[in-house]
Structure 1
Amino acid sequence: MKVESTARKLIWSTVKLIQDYHSKTKEDSTVESVQYLLYALLEVVSKLYLPIIKNNSLLQTRSQDIIDHFFELLNKHGHLERSVLFYSDQLHLSPQYLSSLIKKETGKPIKQWISYRVIKQAEELLKTTSLSIKEISNQLQFVDSSLFCRYFRRCTGITANTYRENYKIKK
């Protein structure tokens, strides 16, 4: 971070003032006075650096922290946990608040993100294993394979078998 030379001079002149004041004053109130001068110095430094920090996106908002944590949880548990309630419990938020925050910040509903993660895992299993559809369904913790097949088709527009066959042809 590069701070203008006038700003640098202002900071150093404030530091020099504190040093001079402390070395030349031998009163009882010196400690308090030096503390107030240090507060003034911190104020100057924060006003100079805060715009630079904000422009470099080094400060994150609480909303961004929640979203980052949600996506960490989704990457870790998304192929098994399809409930908004699970993620909201993990983040100690209400399901409604988490849903609205995700929608507001990403432009997509939370259930769409969860479905995306489940489908990516299913696609990976279809491409890289010889597991049956029923075994994949069980591994992804669907109640039965017909539910998994409907879910897969609703999300992708094709059946799981068709997806597997298309992948084999392209390969």
Structure 2
Amino acid sequence: MIKSIYRCIFLTLILFVLLGGIYPLIVTSVGKIFFPLQSNGGVEYIGSQAVGANLIGQNFSSTKYFHGRPSFAGTLGYDGLSSTPSNLASTNPKLFTDINMHIIKILKGNPTVKRTDIPVELVTYSGSGLDPHISLQSALIQIPRVAKSRNIREDKVTKLVHSSLEKPIFGFFGVDIINVLFLNLKLDNEFNNN
């Protein structure tokens, strides 16, 4: 009986050391070596000032910036501590109300855009509620607003958008996407914070 208790205690201690110490140390080390930017949260700096994280969507509300997907994370959205999908069924009236609210907001802020031109990801929540990317089409419909707000030509903004495209993994896993934070930082850098 005492032998069995010692075995249980020994096994518990071994598993504690393996799973509570050695395994996390190995995973953290592999992350730091092979994925240094991602393992540190993808925080972007201008000088020594942190301006955002490229792995987490953020709320850009100014007309001079590109806007990302709506967020359901937290009370006000974009809460990294409350990453969650909306879990609203397609038959839920709240989903319909939210989508219409997002459509109205986009049409109001982008008067040149027609309702049929709005990509679905700009009016629906992502699975995490914190998606940092938008599609090329989502960026293209925002170009007139951004260019007008910054008093620059649309073709210059279009060129910047196309230079910000991230290609799919191996060229075919996924679609072309644009990181909204990177694009907005490029805008500020290229056009001197106009």
With normalisation by structure 2, the TM-score equals 0.27
- More RCO (CA 8 Å, sep 6+): 2
With normalisation by structure 1, the TM-score equals 0.29
* Rg (Cα) greater in structure: 1
